[in-house]
A and B are shown apart, each in its own frame.
Chain A
Amino acid sequence: SSPVPRRLFGEIKSPGYPKPYPNDNISVWDIHVPKGYVVKLTFRHFDLEPSESCFYDYVKIKADKKNLGRYCGQLGSTTGNHPGRKEFVSKGNRMHLAFHSDFSNEDNGTVIPYRGFLAYYQAVDLDECDPNNAAENDERPQCQHFCHNYMGGYFCSCRTGYQLQSDHHSCKVECSSELFTETSGYLSSPEYPQPYPEDLRCNYSIRLQRGLSIILRFLEPFEIDEHQQVHCPYDQLKIQARGREIGEFCGRESPGSIETNSNEVDILFLTDESGFSRGWKIHYTSEKIRCPQPVPWDRFTIIRDLQPVYQFQDYIVVSCKTGYNLMEGNRKLLSFTAVCQADGTWHQSMPRCETVNCGNPADLKNGAFSYVNKPANNNYQSVITYRCNEPYYHIVTGAGGDRFTCSPEGTWVDQDNQVRIPACLPVCGKPDNPIAEVQR
């Protein structure tokens, strides 16, 4: 009995081969190849004494606790059982050969020198993934999801959303921290549209850059275990945006489309220990977050190139009609711009437009002014006229005359747009009480 070293190939010969084998010989070989391989044996040369049922000399082959046959004879002999070119393949990584020769090889008194046999064996990779190759009573379970064979071995893997367990064969749903960062995509309950597993604690997070708003669109079918009277007692699909819960869903009526107005959304799917609902699937997209449509405070405010929609990073420029000033509180602004921010708000609130006020007109020395129109105020387009204290002074104006109007720039200007007010110059030689001779 000689154990064959664990090699990938080898040969086995009858004793003394190629010389005739001896009588009364029993030889046993245990072929052992590495795990993950099977033994394939073929006889290169087989020359044994033929006999009925191989009663006299024979080679017996066993593997996997099964007899693979008993062989004797010569090629072309009418009796015996010559193996020919048959390939003997084990299911496991072992094969047992036994050779037996009786006390003589005489035929009608003539000694016939039977030479014995020469066999080759090789280790052939066992495709563990082939179900036909599954060994009986094999304690190792099959791969639950995917099997990958390689030379001398195999490994298992799992479908998306599943995690290979420590036994390297079974798969368990792993959805506790699924992260999505693309601007659009799909997510669904495990196994969708097949019924989802029980005892799930799934958390799907969508995280996009600031300024984007996530839109969730539920696809059909939508099925989550429910109760007619109690709201979602068994399984729940919760949707949160920036930590704020938008809704909790179950049943068979799809929530449709949800605009979250947030760049961060969490979807929690909790299931209990039973149920056969098919679950849910979401197609999410994103768009730049929108800001409220800007609305002017008054009819003097102008929003340049007003758009129907304003989104993140859009901006507006606001001005006033002629004769009005942009005001923020009590502060006059030279210009105004507001930008739509990542959180959907404008970075500045809308200003107001107040009518231009020119202030009190300059006093005219030795003269006065009066308001031409009503109401008499210093607002835009008010008109005043200057006069002098006649008859002692006379008015001297520029080419623009003695009427001044409150301009859009907040100054009093004459008709030539000049700000210089008239002057009152003395009138000479005009006494109130000139001498008058009476008697002649």
Chain B
Amino acid sequence: ILGGKSASRGSFPWQALTSIHGRGGGALLGDRWILTAAHTIFPKGLGGNNVSLDQLAEKANIFLGHTDVEELHKLGNHPVRKIFIHPDYNPEDYYNFDGDIALLELKHPVTLGPTVLPICLPDTTNTTFYMDGHMGYVSGFGVEKNFISNNLKYVGLPAIAREKCQRWLDSKKRHLPIVFSENMFCAGFLTIKRDTCQGDSGSVFTVLDTESGRWVATGIVSWGIGCAEGYGFYTKVLNYVDWIKGIAKED
């Protein structure tokens, strides 16, 4: 997290620290599901992911319940029963992060409390969270000032209108076949150094639903061009709510 602040315990109780192919983030859904980015499980560019999902589940480490990495580790790992990658995600397509979403089912449900609480999913009829300028907050254990963070940080970023995202992307991508699909949105600043960065992937972009008073996950940290050099791009959770509920079978 660049340009952010240290998170207090209990402010982002859904935040998970993942360690599958390096550091990543995730968010607790219910009491046994971790929402994360698919590329934290099947990174792009590794060329021929021959490892099975079962094997990845075996070696995945998920940590919950603290803002300090060392303390997180001390609290113990939450083993994974099964991994679900969205079928639209293609690890071979380096520039296309469409479908960058995954679910991890924990073997054992976690006991909720002040430091471990799930994030809510957005109401599928409400699209206001993605309107230009709607503020959201992202937390993560990713890189800060070139160093990977040992504490949970957070930063407030506004969602940006699609056309602005596209315009900016077009100016930056040169001839790279970078895809900005409808299943993504972008957020952040062009000039202010506030952004997410490596190690934050999989963490959730959250907004406060003032009507219900609940924090809702509207995005998943997905990709960007550098860090704090413009907008960051996030998986649009709203488009995947049905897929999530179909797997997690939660009312």
Chains A and B belong together in one complex: yes
**Chain A residues at the B interface, C-beta cutoff of 8 Å:** 366, 389, 392-393, 425-435, 437
Closest 9 CB pairs of A and B: A429-B214, A433-B10, A392-B112, A429-B120, A428-B120, A429-B215, A432-B10, A432-B114, A428-B118
Inter-chain CA distance A431–B121, complex, in Å, is 15
Known: A392-B112, A393-B112, A433-B114. A428 touches B119 (CB 8 A): yes
Some 17 contacts from A to B, beta carbons below 8 A apart, are A392-B112, A392-B114, A426-B30, A426-B117, A427-B117, A428-B29, A428-B117, A428-B119, A428-B214, A429-B120, A429-B214, A430-B214, A431-B10, A433-B9, A433-B114, A434-B208, A437-B156
Inter-chain CA distance A261–B117, complex, in Å, is 81
Give every chain B residue within 8 A of A392 (Cβ-Cβ): 112-114, 117
Give every chain B residue within 8 A of A433 (Cβ-Cβ): 8-11, 114
Whether a CB of chain A sits under 8 angstroms from the CB of B202 is no
Give every chain A residue within 8 A of B9 (Cβ-Cβ): 433
B190 to chain A, nearest CB (A): 21
Give every chain B residue within 8 A of A428 (Cβ-Cβ): 14, 29-30, 117-121, 214-215
Whether a CB of chain A sits under 8 angstroms from the CB of B111 is yes
**Chain B residues at the A interface, C-beta cutoff of 8 Å:** 7-14, 29-31, 111-114, 117-121, 137, 154, 156, 206, 208-209, 212-216
Main secondary structure of the interface of B (DSSP, over half): loop
Inter-chain CA distance A297–B200, complex, in Å, is 75
Known: A426-B112, A428-B117. A435 touches B137 (CB 8 A): yes
Give every chain A residue within 8 A of B209 (Cβ-Cβ): 429
Inter-chain CA distance A430–B11, complex, in Å, is 9
Inter-chain CA distance A435–B45, complex, in Å, is 37
Inter-chain CA distance A389–B10, complex, in Å, is 17
Known: A392-B117, A435-B11, A435-B137. A430 touches B111 (CB 8 A): no
- Quick check: B154 and A435 within 8 Å, CB to CB? yes
- Quick check: B137 and A431 within 8 Å, CB to CB? no
A225 to chain B, nearest CB (A): 101
Give every chain A residue within 8 A of B137 (Cβ-Cβ): 435
Inter-chain CA distance A434–B209, complex, in Å, is 13
Inter-chain CA distance A67–B113, complex, in Å, is 150
- Quick check: A432 and B112 within 8 Å, CB to CB? no
Give every chain B residue within 8 A of A425 (Cβ-Cβ): 30
Known: A366-B111, A366-B112, A435-B137. A430 touches B154 (CB 8 A): no
Name which residue of chain A comes closest to B137, CB basis.
A435
Inter-chain CA distance A274–B171, complex, in Å, is 152
- Quick check: B111 and A431 within 8 Å, CB to CB? no
Inter-chain CA distance A202–B224, complex, in Å, is 128
